[in-house]
């Protein structure tokens, strides 16, 4: 599989180690991050290029995923999600890495390189790469809804726009159970 990675200065050392790890597993690694340490560099262009490459590869039939990282992973996830066709998830555990693929068919993950040890982050990345999308209809339907909004702004109907639907705050219903979902 082709793995596109990107970081800024916060993850440069992590990036080098990650590239060696992924290559040893047989993956083709494409680095879109900096070539040298610059404490003033900015992550957006690096992460956007990695995300663009994932989308291009997937569109061309190449099996590809992306990993972007920085200090917290937050900005890197936001940057990647600006690319049409990207579903980037912030990952902080093996479970969130697995669910990102299984339920959301995420094609990019973001990790805070300063939030985890290298071994922890590797476990997240390895699980993300190894986990397939479940294909369950409920998850596929939700992904189609996201894609529709991204493409043309389409949203599902607002249930509160229907006349006669009570507002929760107006209801005097002591049987309401917030844990029921």
Residues assigned a catalytic role: 76, 103
Residues 6+ apart with CB under 8 A from 104: 87, 89, 139, 142, 143
Distance of CA 158 to the CA centre of its chain: 26
CB atoms within 10 A of CB 136: 11
Alpha carbons 10 and 15: distance in angstroms, whole number: 10
**In the block, which residue shows the tokens 């596929």?**
140
Cβ-contact 73, 8 below 8 angstroms: no
User: Half-sphere exposure of 109 toward its Cβ, with a 13 Å CA cutoff?
Assistant: 28
At residue 80's C-alpha, the angle toward residues 135 and 149, to 5°, is 60
């Amino acid at each position: 599989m082709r793995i596109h990675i990107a970081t800024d200065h916060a993850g440069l050392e992590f990036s080098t180690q990650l590239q060696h790890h992924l290559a040893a597993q047989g993956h083709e690694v494409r680095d879109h991050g900096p070539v040298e340490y610059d404490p003033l560099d900015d992550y957006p262009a690096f992460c956007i290029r990695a995300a663009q490459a994932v989308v291009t590869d997937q569109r061309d039939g190449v099996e590809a995923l992306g990993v972007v990282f920085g200090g917290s992973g937050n900005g890197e996830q936001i940057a990647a999600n600006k690319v049409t066709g990207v579903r980037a998830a912030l990952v902080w555990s093996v479970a969130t890495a697995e669910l990102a693929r299984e339920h959301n068919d995420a094609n990019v993950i973001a990790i805070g390189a300063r939030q985890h040890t290298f071994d922890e982050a590797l476990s997240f990345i390895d699980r993300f790469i190894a986990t397939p999308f479940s294909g369950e209809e409920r998850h596929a339907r939700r992904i189609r809804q996201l894609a529709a909004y991204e493409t043309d702004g389409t949203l599902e109907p607002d249930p509160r726009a229907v006349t006669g639907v009570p507002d929760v705050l107006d209801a005097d219903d002591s049987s309401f159970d917030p844990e029921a979902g």
